[in-house]
Amino acid sequence: MKCKKVLAVAAAVFATFSFASAVVASDDPTMPVPIMTPGEGFTEIPCAVYFADNMAFGPQWRVGGLVRVELAVINLDADHDGTLLGVGEIPLNISESVNGTIDPLTNATKVYDQVELFTDPSLLNDTYMVSVSHIWVNISLSTDSAHTFRFASDFTDGYDDTDTVGREINKMGHLIYGFLWDTELVPVGVYTVSVGFTTVYGVKMAIEHLYPIVNETDDVVLDPIGYAELPIDDGSSGTGGVDFNTNEAYIYLGELITKGGSGSNGSNGGGDGGNGNMNGLMNTAGRKAY
pTM of the model: 0.82
Report, as an integer, the average pLDDT of 12-36.
48
User: Is residue 20's pLDDT more than 50?
Assistant: no
CA 251 – CA 67 distance, rounded (Å): 14
Average pLDDT (240-245) is 98
Per-residue model confidence as pLDDT tens digits over 104-154: 999 999 999 999 999 999 999 999 999 999 999 999 999 999 999 999 999
Please report, for the chain, the start and end positions of each structural domain, with discontinuous segments joined by +.
18-280
pLDDT at 70 over 90: yes
Which of 6-10, 21-25, 60-64, 242-246 has the weakest average pLDDT? 6-10
Residue 1 has pLDDT above 80, yes or no: no
Tell me what the mean pLDDT of segment 13-30 comes to.
38
If you average pLDDT over residues 25-38, what whole number do you get? Answer: 69
Q: What percent of the chain shows pLDDT beyond 90? A: 70
pLDDT exceeds cutoff 90 at 234: yes
